Amino acid sequence: MSDIAIQIDNLSKVYKKGTISSRTFNDDVKRFFARLKAQPDPLSKVDEERFGIQQNGYLWALKNINLKVKQGTVLGIVGKNGVGKSTLLKIISKITAPTEGEVKIKGRVASLLEVGTGFHPDLTGRENLYLNGAILGMSKAEIDTKLDEIIEFSGVREFIETPVKRYSSGMRVRLAFAIAAHLEPEILLVDEVLAVGDVSFQKKCLGKIGDIVKQGRTVLIVSHNLGLIRDLCDECILLHEGQIVEQGVTADVVSKYLALTTIQGSNKSAKFWPNQNDAPGSDEMRLNSIQISDENLSMPDSYDSGLAIQIEIDFNVLTELRGMRFVIRFITCDGHVAFASTDHNIRDNELKTGNYKSVCTIPPNLLNQGEYLVRVSADIPGVKVIIIDNELLSFTVFNSGTHGSHFPENWPGIVAPRLQWETKSVD
Amino acid sequence: MNSPPISDCQEDWTTIIKSKSSWFDLPVKELWQFRNLIKLFVWRDFVVQYKQTILGPLWHVLQPLFTTLIFTLVFGKIANLSTDGIPQFLFYMLGIVLWTYFSNCLTKTSDTFITHSVIFEKVYFPRLSIPISILISNLISFCVQFALFMVVLCMFYVKGVEVRINSCILITPLLMLLLAGLSLGCGIIITSLTTKYRDLRYLITFGVQLLMFATPVIYPVSLVPDKLKPFIMLNPVTPVMETFRYAILGAGTVDIRHLIYTALITIAVLFFGSLLFTKVERTFVDTV
């Protein structure tokens, strides 16, 4: 009870859609006169029907959020774009006020969402370091003691007396992150900032965040990188249309999120488009269907890893096409691309108008057990994209073959190919 | 976990973010906590101004000198306006130095939200620290310019001009406070409104220029025809200008009632301004 770092009660946030400036003065005048006459606000539609997501120019970015975050928890926030993840962090960090409800916080909050803002191009690295530190809420003494460490971490020591405007963008980001990473807040908010810098710097950042986590601080992370969420977070919440739809252990929430982003419907292993106008594609080519089956052409709910799995794409070519290819991506339930595959022969082929079927066969004993999502895209490399990469199907693999019988435990790895082994006596 | 045990959780929140703020909520304590930031903003304003310039801080001195020279030439020699018997150069220079403080504070504070929107969208710190730092950094350059004015005054004294500094000089700090409060109040009202109505931004740039002519900067109040005098006195900057001039140069229309009027306006503007500002700062990132 006493170790709650953040408590959110009935939090809601409404945004007004469309341009704000053009008619507002008019609206404001109307409101003003209505208030004078003690009439209800003529433009308030928010209060009347507050439980719809979007109505009449208003958007509920967050709706009735209730959440308690214990001290020392690393909480992941997942959800599709535009479901209110960043808005939630903005409210917690006091950048914008909620429309309803309240947030209670214990301890200093700092966020990593502002990497590099507040840098003044004409000031040197060192000068900016002090300024940025102060903006983020560090005292001068705090900056003084950590100065060396920060400069070291950023790796821009030689340029620390150079105006920041002469920095490369990578250097700027590194310096900014170094400052933010050395804040010592009780609560840290991280919003998708880890996609900065080169690979080695990203590694360094992840290490730093790992350290912060180990120090027992409360951390809230927004990210689309589910692998990162899985590695760092103890708990997760899943936001959907401004509401928390799932909350709990990371693995459960992540798989729920993935289920939400895939097709909704009973049959996940086949998809048909009887109406060509709705089918994915363009004027050149449209899909008829995609189906998954095993090598016996049956379509069970889950597939035996000992049998080959086939993905069949049925499509109509509407105008003559040259060099088009399909790319199929197989995604594991925690968001990693297991592998991607394309038909290397079709690329140089000319396709006359007509009906075609492409079949991709996954050999037996390749996939590990678990759920896989199938994403399909079609393009003419370097020319145009015909179908953008989207999740269409999913299937589950179970082990009945060698792995299944001999190793009933979960076998690690994204794939579990059967490789050639040989053991012989060398005496 | 190495955090100390917390006895009663209901009492221990460091921050409570509510949907509605109390109607008057000045973050004085918070501003004090962020005094280091205000100091750094002031410092930044100075350092940045003179990066990549040859003359550097000398511009602080050159600006009022050149303007005074031109004003003396145009309004003094060509238009031949009266200066209440004060040497023209001194008259214009004091007016310019004071007016520069007021107009700089006003134009810069009135742009707080828009110039800093990028940073305000990303990180929270008490928003008022920006206008306050603007007041302070302008006050420092005012002091430099005023010192320069005193040097010029001494030179005139050496050349035999009578210097009529009087006891009114004791209230000049108060006058500066009025000027600062007035510009801050107006500035934060305008910046709060510009988050919605950008028009005000354009208004302020030439509005301030025009306002100078409605303030006795280049002419003394005594020169104003009686019919127009009430209008000039309506301008709350007028009594400050006149009293300041009287304190240093010994000529001007001083009336305590006018000063009280200015003080009341200043308090009203500051009150209304901080009311509006604290209301707008909560959600302005959604509209800017």
pLDDT tops 50 at residue A212: yes
The pLDDT value given to residue B30:
85
Identity of the residue in B15, B37, B119 whose CB atom sits nearest the CB atom of A105: B15
- Contact (CB, 8 A) for A89 and A191: yes
pLDDT tops 60 at residue A74: yes
Question: What percent of chain A shows pLDDT beyond 70?
Answer: 79
The pLDDT value given to residue A400:
53
- Among chain B, residues having any CB pair with chain A shorter than 8 Å are 1-3, 5-9, 12-19, 21, 34, 36-37, 40-41, 44, 47-48, 51-52, 118-125, 196-198, 282-283, 285-287
Mean pLDDT, rounded, of chain B: 87
Q: Structure tokens of A325?
A: 């290819």
The pLDDT value given to residue B98:
95
State the Cα–Cα distance between residues A130 and B36, nearest whole angstrom: 10
CA-nearest residue of chain B to A5? B13
Burial class (CB in 10 A: 0-12, 13-18, 19+), B240: buried
Q: Which of A256-270, A360-374, B179-193 has the highest mean pLDDT?
A: B179-193
Residue B56's region, left for phi above 0, alpha for psi from -120 to 50, else beta, is left
- A118 interfacial to chain B (CB closer than 8 Å): yes
- Contact (CB, 8 A) for B243 and B216: no
- Across the range B126-153, mean pLDDT stands at 93
- Across the range A261-278, mean pLDDT stands at 66
Per-residue pLDDT band at A348 (split at 50, 70, 90)? confident
- Across the range B15-38, mean pLDDT stands at 81
Per-residue pLDDT band at A401 (split at 50, 70, 90)? very low
Cβ <8 Å between A123 and B52:
no
The residue among A169, A159, A155 whose CA lies nearest residue A201 is A155
CA-nearest residue of chain A to B129? A135
Poorest-confidence range of A134-138, A405-409, B68-72, B206-210?
A405-409
Q: Residues 6 or more apart from A38 whose CB is under 8 A from it?
A: none
Cβ <8 Å between A114 and B40:
no
pLDDT tops 50 at residue A54: no
Q: How far is CA A402 from CA A89, A338, A368, A415, B204, in A?
A: 48, 21, 12, 14, 80
- Contact (CB, 8 A) for A326 and A346: yes
- Across the range B38-54, mean pLDDT stands at 86
- Give the CA count within 13 Å in the CB-facing half-sphere of A404: 16
Cβ <8 Å between A131 and B40:
yes
pLDDT tops 90 at residue B266: yes
- Across the range B131-150, mean pLDDT stands at 94
The pLDDT value given to residue B7:
42
- Across the range B34-56, mean pLDDT stands at 86
State the Cα–Cα distance between residues A223 and A192, nearest whole angstrom: 5
Q: At what angle do helices B88-109 and B58-71 cross, to 10 degrees?
A: 120
Cβ <8 Å between B7 and A2:
yes
From B143's Cα to the closest Cα of chain A, the distance in A is 25
The pLDDT value given to residue A404:
42
Residue type, A418: R
> Helix (H, G, I), strand (E, B), or coil: what is residue A276?
coil
Q: Structure tokens of B25?
A: 């909520």
- Kindly report the number of other CB atoms within 10 A of residue A79's CB atom: 26
- Across the range B133-154, mean pLDDT stands at 93
The residue among A335, A329, A331 whose CA lies nearest residue A227 is A335
pTM, two decimal places: 0.72
- A113 interfacial to chain B (CB closer than 8 Å): yes
One DSSP character per residue, A389-411 reads EEEEEEEEEE--SHHHHH--SPP
pLDDT tops 90 at residue B135: yes
> Helix (H, G, I), strand (E, B), or coil: what is residue A11?
strand
One DSSP character per residue, A53-86 reads SEETTEEEEEEEEEEEEETT-EEEEE-STTSSHH
A/B interface, count of CB pairs below 8 Å:
133
Q: Which of A371-375, A420-424, B147-151 has the highest mean pLDDT?
A: B147-151
Cβ <8 Å between A114 and B119:
yes
Burial class (CB in 10 A: 0-12, 13-18, 19+), B66: exposed
pLDDT tops 60 at residue A42: no
Question: Which residues in chain A touch residue B123, judged by CB atoms under 8 angstroms apart?
Answer: 93, 95, 111, 113-114, 117-118, 135-136
From A17's Cα to the closest Cα of chain B, the distance in A is 10
Best interface-test mutation with B: which of A122, A166, A183, A218 has the largest number of B CBs within 10 A? Answer: A122
Q: Residues 6 or more apart from B18 whose CB is under 8 A from it?
A: A97, A98, A102
The residue among B25, B12, B278, B5 whose CA lies nearest residue A104 is B12
The pLDDT value given to residue A79:
84
The residue among A365, A338, A341 whose CA lies nearest residue A419 is A365
State the Cα–Cα distance between residues B123 and B85, nearest whole angstrom: 54
Cβ <8 Å between A134 and B37:
yes
CA B140 to chain centre: 11
The pLDDT value given to residue A375:
83
From B45's Cα to the closest Cα of chain A, the distance in A is 10
B126-152 CB burial, b ≥16 within 10 A, e <16:
bbbbbbbbbbbbbeebbeebbebbeeb
The pLDDT value given to residue B196:
80
In the sheet that A325-332 helps form, which strands lie side by side, from edge to edge?
Answer: A302-304, A384-398, A370-380, A325-332, A337-342
The pLDDT value given to residue A81:
74
pLDDT tens digits, A99-128: 889 999 988 888 775 566 678 888 899 998
Cβ <8 Å between A100 and B19:
yes
Q: How many helices (H) and strands (E) does chain A have?
A: 9, 21
Mean pLDDT, rounded, of chain A: 78
Q: Which residue has the tokens 């951390």?
A: A219
CA torsion, points A400, A404, A410, A415, in degrees to nearest 10? -70
- Across the range A158-172, mean pLDDT stands at 86
- Across the range A124-138, mean pLDDT stands at 88
Identity of the residue in B3, B48, B119 whose CB atom sits nearest the CB atom of A117: B119
pLDDT tops 60 at residue A356: yes
The residue ranking higher by pLDDT, A360 or B285, is: A360
The pLDDT value given to residue A49:
38
From B19's Cα to the closest Cα of chain A, the distance in A is 5
State the Cα–Cα distance between residues B27 and B166, nearest whole angstrom: 39
Q: How far is CA B261 from CA B128, B172, B255, in A?
A: 26, 17, 10
Poorest-confidence range of A149-163, B48-62, B85-99?
B48-62
Question: Which residues in chain A touch residue B46, judged by CB atoms under 8 angstroms apart?
Answer: none
The pLDDT value given to residue A195:
54
CA-nearest residue of chain A to B7? A2
- Across the range A47-60, mean pLDDT stands at 52
pLDDT tops 90 at residue B237: yes
Q: How many residues can be counted in chain B?
A: 288
